[in-house]
Amino acid sequence: MVSAQKKLNSTGRRSGRWRTSERCRCRAAQELDSLKLLYAASSGDGHTMPGHPECFARSNAALNGLNTALEEANQATVNDASTPRDLEQLKNALANGVDYDEATDELLQLVHVPAYVEGLRELLPRAREAGCMTIETGGPTYFTPYSVMAAVSAVGAACAVADEIVAFNNAAVSTPAGLVLTRPPGHHAVPGGPKGFCLYNGAAVVARHVQQKHNCDKVVVIDFDVHYGNGTADAFRDDSSVLYASMHQERIFPFEGNIDEVGQGEGEGCNLALPLPAGTGRTLAFESWDTVIAPKAREFLRDAKKCFVVISAGFDAHFLDPTAQFMWDASDYYHLARRARELAGECAGGRLLYIMEGGYHVDNGNEASRGVGGALGVSIAELTRSTLGLASLEETLAARGNQVEASAPEKKAGLFGNMFGGGGGGAKVDPVEASRFALYGRAPRPDEPMELGMDILHRARQIHGI
């Protein structure tokens, strides 16, 4: 795998990329229709604190995950191509990097109050003197001389990719999804201040940006970070034009997001909070999406003239993440991405943007995941595979196991049996367990707290009339 650093420079920016308007004039329609992903990345270089989970290593992990999936897509395209083409051309036919500028004050102030935008910059002299400081009112939020640059780059990247998505859609060609891999995260930042590692709220700014610049009358923001996005909820608490829906772990930071938090005033009913119990895995996650979040979003968008779907994509629900106790695995993000794509295609003309939020497991030293970026990198690779139409990791491993069984059943125990302490030839392989073990060296699968979780979903359907 070519390292992320060879694909992206230190800020995550690409040089020499066409804007979509140029792309639409100069490239054949069939090439545009094959494009599945627009992406941007920013490393947040200089915004880091020794020993802190929200660190520079997250950028490398995220980019490694993206590049892993892109290389697989390139290889699949090479194998399927009827005529040889340059590898870069093949890649550009599937995914394109997007140039971006730092967010302006005007853009930030679509969500954040001017006093906060100005006040954050006024902290820079103190940060230069201290090297790294903690913002007292921001919970566990640190601040360095490079933090403002990192935060405005993150928001600028998100808005630029959103612009490109809309431009493709307006050009009447297939609409690619967008993926923004930036740090710091944003969904805890409230209009008037920072919180929970977050300085500016990129998801909220994008929602306002597409409303004002692109005349989207309704926006859905779906948050599957394990922590409730209190900042996004605050930004739209009394707004009927934005639906914020979150599934998150109950009783952890930021200690908000109770099921009865539904919005207020004109925004009543436009905040959907699903506080799920520790131990929640894929069954409850998919049930939350299929029976509560997606039906609510479809109803919300039913009469919209033009709309947009933003995903606050946190990857800290993974069972290896150190900040919470959900039990998702990487392939769960693959299947959630498929669901998100279906929802956006059905209700929003395909306008769909993922913005990276949390996800703090970056390496566990396991040979299979080394270089991919731990749970964070592998999860991003799975989300990208789904967006590009590739098979998931668990599907690939299952097919590999079935091929071994068909050709030489006695080899199957050697391939998978020792993962789980036995399993003779002909034993069925659970692809989820196999993928977990292959990547992480262990494969815990505790029982999900189904009774508690299903009760929460039932109450949510009652509250929101679903």
- What does residue 42 show for φ and ψ, rounded to 5 degrees? -145, 130
Decide if 260 contacts 268 (C-beta within 8 A). Answer: no
Q: How far does Cα 285 stand from its chain's mean position? A: 15
Nearest-Å Rg of the Cα atoms of the chain is 22
Cis link prior to 184 (omega < 30° from 0)?
yes
- How many angstroms separate the Cα of 373 from the Cα of each of 43, 174, 330, 434? 14, 31, 12, 19
**Maximum CA pair distance of the chain?**
69
Q: At 403, list the tokens.
A: 């091929």
Please say if 112 is a catalytic residue: no
Cα 151 to Cα 199: distance, rounded to the nearest angstrom = 6
CA 60, 93, 98: angle at the middle one, nearest 5?
50
Q: Which one of the listed residues 47, 112, 187, 188 is annotated catalytic?
A: 188
Cα 428 to Cα 438: distance, rounded to the nearest angstrom = 16
Q: At 177, list the tokens.
A: 């999804």
Q: Which has the closest alpha carbon to 336: 277, 273, 283, 399?
A: 283
Any residues with CB less than 8 A from the CB of 307 and at least 6 apart, and which? 216, 217, 218, 219, 220, 301, 347, 348, 349, 351
Cα 234 to Cα 192: distance, rounded to the nearest angstrom = 10
Cα 334 to Cα 168: distance, rounded to the nearest angstrom = 24
Cα 41 to Cα 100: distance, rounded to the nearest angstrom = 10
Residues with active-site annotation: 188
